[in-house]
Amino acid sequence: MNFNPKMLQVYLVGGTQDTHHDSYEFLAKVEEAMQAGITAFQYREKDSSTMTADARLIMARRLVEMGNRYSIPVLIDDDVQMALRVGADGVHVGQDDEQIEQVIKEAAGKLIIGYSCNTAAEVEKANQLSAIDYLGCGPVFETTSKVDADPALGLTKLKELNKLSTHPLVAIGGLSLENIPEVLKTDVAGLSMISLVLNSKNITETIEKIKALVK
């Protein structure tokens, strides 16, 4: 699947650590989100995840199959080899993950490449790398979804980084139905969320509300 910035509009991120380490709950919630119209999904087992490498591979395959069924691009967090092995659409890497130059070497032309950048220096470096498709930027607000999250950027900084970037930028971290309208005023290409969707009592309704704001 070729990259299109519209893929970033309603971008769900998650792993089993976001659903009480329950694989069945995780798959059911991701499927409901895909049915409701998310525009991309990133599989991210991090922090307190208890999954083995084999279990992650099986889960990644199931998610890619699900994405194919609903025509939703599926990206793998921080694992180019897994992304290629399971036939994922893309890979997303952070500043502390695999070296971006190595990721580009392995994935360019084969996978959509996303890269986390939270400072002007990081964005400027990314601007020199044409093989990158988009940047993830955050946390915009305080977040409880990532135990190792950086300090919140705030809207002013987000706007500055978005203006500086030559790549489309997706905002992540602490997004809520209340603050999304303000985030969209920064002209970012999309919104990325974890707990807003996966902790929702009504995932379909939450995604419909997000989509209404994005339009």
pLDDT tens-digit readout, 145-204: 666 667 899 999 999 999 999 999 999 999 999 999 999 999 999 999 999 999 999 999
| CATH 3.40.30.10, applies to 5-214 | no
Q: What is the average pLDDT score of the chain?
A: 95
Which DSSP state fits 150? P
Which DSSP state fits 108? T
Least Cα distance to 19 among 204, 211, 203, 171 occurs for: 203
pLDDT confidence of residue 160: 98
pLDDT confidence of residue 150: 76
pLDDT confidence of residue 147: 62
pLDDT confidence of residue 25: 98
Model confidence over 82-114: pLDDT tens digits?
A: 999 999 999 999 998 669 999 999 999 999 999
Model confidence over 1-37: pLDDT tens digits?
A: 899 999 999 999 999 999 999 999 999 999 999 999 9
Confirm if 198 and 18 have CB atoms less than 8 A apart: yes
| Cβ neighbour number for residue 121 with a 10 Å cutoff | 9
Residues forming beta bridges with residue 76, ordered by sequence position: 43, 91
pLDDT (mean) for 51-62: 96
pLDDT confidence of residue 47: 72
pLDDT confidence of residue 149: 66
Distance CA 189, CA 98 (A): 25
Confirm if 179 and 152 have CB atoms less than 8 A apart: no
pLDDT confidence of residue 21: 95
Distance CA 5, CA 189 (A): 7
